[in-house]
Chains A and B, each alone.
Chain A
Amino acid sequence: MEITRKEENGVVFIAISGRLDADSSPEADKVVKEVLEGPTDRLLFDLGQLEYLSSAGLRVLLSAAKEMKRRGGKLVLCSLNAFVKEIFEVSGFQSLIDITDSVEAGVAKLA
């Protein structure tokens, strides 16, 4: 798994690629927590290069979504591949977290 972050116009972008599973989710969780220590209230996850997501990975994203909700912010997941999208559908998480097809649509959603 690779995780990178940047901030542009008040939006924090977190890109996660590869496999987000039980082995890699502690590292992702650490990065997300670091971001959430800041005052950010708009968070975009670019999952375009994410190949696999396990329930441990879902927990990382869920924790971030809960925190953003708590602070009245917005969070969006973008560019999920078909496999990852299906995980969100089957697990019912798509009703808890906003998902868009592209990063551009995600940015628009956060505006």
Chain B
Amino acid sequence: MATNTADGESILLVDDNPTNLQVLYQCLEGVGCKLLIAKNGEMAISIAAKALPDLILLDIMMPGIDGYEVCRRLKSDPKTADIPVIFLSALGETGDKVKGLQLGAVDYITKPFQPDEVIARVNTHLTIHRLKQEIEQRKDELEHELEVVSAVQRRLLPKQLPVIGGFQLAVRYETSRYAGGDYYDLIGLADNCWGFLMADAEGHSTPAAVLMAMTCALFRAYPKAASDPAQVLHYLNEHLCKVADPSFITALYAVYDAGRQTVKVARAGHPLPMIYHAAEKKAEELACPGVFPMGIEPYEDPIPVAEAQLQPGDRLLLYTDGLTERFNEPGEAYGEQRLLQQLGTDVGDDPQEVLAAIIDDVQRFAGAHPADDDQALLLGIVS
């Protein structure tokens, strides 16, 4: 019977009756665990806290604190709460068993017991306990790996925003309960032009993070000046098609000409950019036909490029769908209309303030409902 027990495991036997203890001890000698003994409740709690056994066989009727109370205290101490407890008692009524199990015991054996039955149950619970510990350990390892991935992902984002004359920038990157694949980047081009990339790798956790990192590496290795939005998306897609299956990456690439105050945009499956026109006090999506997301298949048709003329006070917002697909408790999405309205709300001309107001509004809308996806926002205001 010792075949499925691991080295170094121990079982604590608790009974106030020396004869019972001896019988139990002899019965379990063969399971291959170290056997510890406690003659009363106090001793049991103290030994359990020190030795942290892998299983406890606990008598119920004992002088001083009884088995139920011992179990209750073990379960309320985080150190001992996970140790499985089997009650071993002459109390054979259903009510007694239910009470024991409700206190958190894993099993209940009625005395007088059959040694084979005790051995079988002990082995079963030791195995369950061992598997549970293995799962916990794997979970901790995975969580640690994800934290590392998230940290790397963070480092891929631009450390600071460029200073562009006549165009004030702000950015927000809100993470969700899953690590997502949002990515944004900004680069300086010739002739006072600037490139803004906003991308979102479908999925969560490591797979999305890998695609996000690939997109980042490809974009930064772009062999020419990234001043033609359609060419940039063509290039990214060509390379992402080799690696993304079965996932995909939505993206939007905008080139802002700070001298002429114009913006050119190409879009691959990504939410449309939004523009707030200060003179008309009107926010709208920039009509931009676009192509399907990157990483699926090569683009055979030319990628359309939309252009817009901005004026002082105008706001340009690029974002990922984690923002508009933020849900509230009844299951309603924040949506583009609310975002447009909020983008046009007068909170001054500091882009940080405008973004903070948007985040606050989304937060207020979602209430206690957690974010399922990352949210990236990049806002520029013409001054």
What distance in Å separates the Cβ of A94 from its nearest Cβ neighbour in chain B? 8
Measured between beta carbons, the chain A residues less than 8 angstroms from B296 are 62, 66, 96
Per-position 1/0 for A1-30, Cβ under 8 A of B = 000000000000000000101100000000
Q: Is B248 an interface residue (CB 8 A)?
A: yes
Beta-carbon contact of A90 and B203 below 8 Å: no
Hey, which chain A residues are within 8 Å of B246, CB to CB?
59, 62-63, 66
**With contact pairs A54-B325, A55-B250, A62-B248 given, residues A92 and B203 touching in the complex (Cβ less than 8 Å):** no
Does B331 touch A at the CB level, under 8 Å? yes
Is B195 engaged at the interface, CB distance under 8 Å to the other chain? no
- Interface readout for A72-107 with B: 1 if CB under 8 Å, 0 if not? 000000000000000000111101100000000000
CB distance from A106 to the nearest CB of B (A): 21
Question: B268, A56: Cβ atoms under 8 Å?
Answer: no
Also in contact, A90 and B272, with CB within 8 A (given A55-B202, A95-B292): yes
Cross-interface CB contact of A93 among B271, B292, B333, cutoff 8 Å: B292
> Which residues of the other chain, B, contact A66 by a CB distance below 8 angstroms?
245-246, 296
* A68 contacts partner chain B, Cβ-Cβ < 8 Å: no
Digitize B266-284: 1 where CB-to-A-CB distance is under 8 Å, 0 elsewhere.
Answer: 0011011000000000000
Residue contact B202 to A90, C-beta cutoff 8 Å:
no
Alpha-carbon separation in the docked complex, A19 to B332 (Å): 11
On chain A, the residues within 8 Å of B268 by CB distance are: 92
Complex partner residue of A56 from B202, B291, B297, CB under 8 angstroms: B202
B114, chain A: closest CB distance, angstroms = 44
Kindly identify, within residues 243 to 279 of chain B, every residue whose CB is under 8 Å from any CB belonging to chain A.
245-248, 250, 268-269, 271-272
Q: What residues of chain A lie closer than 8 Å to B84, measured between beta carbons?
A: none
**B contact residues vs A (CB 8 Å cutoff):** 178, 200, 202-204, 245-248, 250, 268-269, 271-272, 290-293, 296-297, 321, 325, 331, 333, 372-373
- Give the Cβ gap from A72 to chain B, nearest Cβ, in Å: 16
Contact of B248 among A19, A21, A22, A59 (CB under 8 A): A59
- Separation in Å of the A2 CB from the closest CB of chain B? 15
Which residues on the B side are within 8 Å of A90 (C-beta)?
Answer: 269, 271-272, 290
Cβ contact within 8 Å between A59 and B203: yes
Q: Which of A21, A58, A95, A96 contacts B202 (CB 8 A)?
A: A58
State whether A56 touches B203 (Cβ < 8 A): yes
Q: Is the CB of A91 within 8 A of B269?
A: yes
Chain A residue contacts of B245, Cβ below 8 A: 66
Docked CA distance A52–B202 (Å): 16
Kindly report which residue of chain B lies nearest to residue A22, judged by CB atoms: B372
Contact in complex: B290, A92 (CB < 8 Å): yes
Chain B, Cβ-Cβ closest to A94:
B292
**CB of A15 to closest CB in B, whole Å:** 20
Contact A92 B202 (CB under 8 A): no
Task: State the CA gap A90–B335 with chains docked (Å).
Answer: 13
> For residue B335, which residue of chain A has the nearest CB?
A83
How far is A96 from B296 in the complex, measured between Cα atoms in Å? 9
Residue of B nearest to A58 (CB): B202
Nearest CB of A to B206, in Å? 15
CA distance A58 to B203 in the complex (A): 11
Give the nearest-CB partner of B203 in chain A.
Answer: A56
Give the CA-CA distance A62 to B269 in the complex, in Å: 13
